[in-house]
Structure 1
Amino acid sequence: MEYITLDKLVEDLELEIIYKADNMEKIKISASEISRPGLPLAGYFNKFAYDRLQIIGNAEWFFCNNLTKDLRYKRFEEYFSYNFPALIFARELPIFPEAIEFAKKYNRTILSVDISTTKLVNTIINYLDYVLAPGTVVHGVLMEVYGLGVLIIGESGVGKSETALELIKRGHRLVADDVIEIKKVDSGLRGQSPDIIRYFMEIRGIGIIDIERLYGVGAIKSDEFIDLVIELEFWDEKKEYDRVGLDEDYIDLLGEKVPKLLIPVRPGRNLAMIVEVAARNARQKKLGYNAAVELNNKIKTQMRIRKARDIRNEK
């Protein structure tokens, strides 16, 4: 997403509106940086980052409160003449009358919140980093399995939701079914469900079920980083499937390479158990142990020993 509108930010973060600019729904925020306007309020407007959200905390508030009334009036008028997106007062600090006056004059939005300044800054930056990050939508199921985010994809009807339901019964957690919104953030690829279908799942023959209602809050998770992609496909007798695991396969998601496994589906295969094993094995690989490589090395070592023994016997 290239930008978010101010009214959407206010709604999502549940900020209190003290004064609303008449164009609030058209104000665009396209960067996650914020500004604490200590220097501008002290009269130094050179390099003032007025295009960012402005936050007044304890330090800025008490500085302004100690100014003479005339000087505060002058500073606020110059400050509000800049076209900033909004001014947020943290800790439910009292709003200066001059701020209200010039917000009306220059059509600026003033907001308030009852949390600390540091927490407010972190909340806004994390929120904007996420909503402004590059994103995509994928059809599948996202689960947390043994602490790893496992994205299950495949053709319609191959059994993605049924596999996820069995994983939930085994104690793992559902993040999203059917539609997964993926965002590229600094820590990796994070997936979640759209709000409207969050924690709902479609099971053919039954219909829509509510996982939170049926299995409790321990069976769900709001979001998860994607560590492994498992593609389910109907078994093809003519196709040669990997039986060793030496060849690593990856899928590209938003420019990030994510390990991918192709799992053939046919009657009698316990897909939930296979996904569990795949997750455990992926975690071992993250820790530096690859069973396929380990076995291959042992075989090579054994072959070298036998070859050396054969050479000695020939002599």
Structure 2
Amino acid sequence: MNKVAVSELLGDDAKHLKLELLYGKAWLDSKFISSFRIQKPGLGLAGYTDHIHGGRVQILGNTEISYLQTLNRDDRYFSISELCKKDIACFVVTKNLKVPSELLTCVKKHNIPLMRTALVSSEAITKISDFLEYKLAPETVIHGVLMDVYGVGVLIIGRSGIGKSECALELIKRGHRLAADDAVHIIRKQDFLIGASNDLLHYHIELRGLGILNVKDMYGVNAIRVRKKVELVVNFVDWNSEESYERTGLDNKFFEILGIHLPIIMLPVSPGRNMAVIVESAAKNQLLKYMGYDAAREFENKLNKKLKESENIESDSFFDSKGVE
């Protein structure tokens, strides 16, 4: 199971969460969040803690703080103390509300980081949940090139040196955008995949004979994407005259990444084939499928209809020649 250190909630990429650390700097790297789901303790503050989940961020909003203020000091301390026994990853107080002194005492006793944000509870829950979902997502690295072609995320794979980056450069020249070259970092977010480059290789592409090129500097910001949803896999393979390649497009094949099955197209590479144009065509065809139109299936239906009409004509001709009594 993936885990995220509480310290990441205060990192540079989490500034939009507007979190302020009130206590627990020494425990930020030893306390871990194991779920992107955020919890408001609710009845947990009233003593019913059976459904308080460990490893989660606990949000204390206006309702929770107001309830605690209705208790006397001893009951308030007991309520918070019982909650702190449930392996809480951290507490976040919203709306910059005043923190009860008993809460600060309890988090110090149980070594739980305490933070505060100016965001209202609903906004804080949404933003923290989205941030953690991205951080906790299953991930993998695939050798290839990820391109945005007509809005379709196309992952080009194949052996080293087969021409993936050269095809990507031609696609960039034709107005499409690069998301990642060489090492594509892919994460699973719910039921879809997001691909991106690592920080070192952002905006760069490697071409044998030329070296490393900065796509953003050469072609402008319109030529790059920070990340892109992966929707189609194109596998470049060496041309083999004895191999049987797909001719109709009816044989749908799939490529599994992190449990998600993506459509894959096997494209043989040979001298004279414009691979960029073929990849463009594959992306356009995928767009048509999204719109409910499958050219291969449409052709098959027309062919079957034509064959059926021919069979009916032959059958009618046979009976006409025999006559009917």
TM-score (structure 1 length as normaliser): 0.88
Extract unaligned runs of 5+ from structure 1. none
Please say if residues 183 and 197 of structure 2, whose CA atoms lie closer than 8 Å, have aligned partners that are also in contact: yes
Secondary structure of the corresponding residue to residue 150 of structure 1: strand
Distance change in 2, residues 1:115/1:247 (3 Å): same
1:154 matched to 2:155? The reply is no
Partner of 2:24: 20
Q: 1:123 aligns with which of 118, 127, 144?
A: 127
**AA matched with 1:45:** Y
Please say if residues 27 and 112 of structure 2, whose CA atoms lie closer than 8 Å, have aligned partners that are also in contact: no
Give the Cα separation in 2 of the matches to 1:170 and 1:116.
45
Partner of 2:36: 32
1:292 matched to 2:276? The reply is no
Give the Cα separation in 1 of the matches to 2:66 and 2:200.
43
Secondary structure of the corresponding residue to residue 242 of structure 2: coil
Secondary structure of the corresponding residue to residue 102 of structure 1: helix
Partner of 2:2: 2
Give the Cα separation in 2 of the matches to 1:301 and 1:74.
77
> How many residue pairs align between the two structures?
314
Give the Cα separation in 2 of the matches to 1:261 and 1:146.
17
Distance change in 2, residues 1:210/1:16 (3 Å): farther
What is the 5 A alignment of 1:26-65?
A: 26-41=30-45, 43-51=46-54, 52-65=56-69
**AA matched with 1:115:** L
Give the Cα separation in 2 of the matches to 1:215 and 1:91.
44
- CA deviations over 1:142-191 (Å, ceiling 9, x no partner): 11222221111011111111212222222222221111222223232222
Partner of 1:253: 257
Partner of 1:104: 108
Shift of 1:245: 1.4
Shift of 1:82: 4.4
When structure 1 is superposed on structure 2, of 198-207 and 270-279 the one drifting more is 198-207
Shift of 1:77: 4.2
Extract unaligned runs of 5+ from structure 2. none
What is the 5 A alignment of 1:156-171?
A: 156-171=160-175
- CA deviations over 1:101-155 (Å, ceiling 9, x no partner): 3322322211223333222212222233333333322111111222221111011
Give the Cα separation in 2 of the matches to 1:110 and 1:89.
8
- CA deviations over 1:186-218 (Å, ceiling 9, x no partner): 232222222332222212222222333333333
Give the Cα separation in 2 of the matches to 1:206 and 1:92.
54
What is the 5 A alignment of 1:87-102?
A: 87-102=91-106
Give the Cα separation in 2 of the matches to 1:313 and 1:83.
83
Give the Cα separation in 1 of the matches to 2:218 and 2:119.
35
Give the Cα separation in 2 of the matches to 1:214 and 1:158.
24
**AA matched with 1:187:** D
Give the Cα separation in 2 of the matches to 1:310 and 1:185.
56
Between the aligned residues of both structures, percent identity stands at 38
Partner of 1:188: 192
Partner of 1:206: 210
Secondary structure of the corresponding residue to residue 274 of structure 1: helix
Q: CA RMSD in A?
A: 2.4
Partner of 1:268: 272
Give the Cα separation in 2 of the matches to 1:81 and 1:309.
82
TM-score (structure 2 length as normaliser): 0.86
Shift of 1:262: 0.8
Give the Cα separation in 2 of the matches to 1:77 and 1:309.
86
Please say if residues 201 and 209 of structure 1, whose CA atoms lie closer than 8 Å, have aligned partners that are also in contact: yes
**AA matched with 1:30:** S
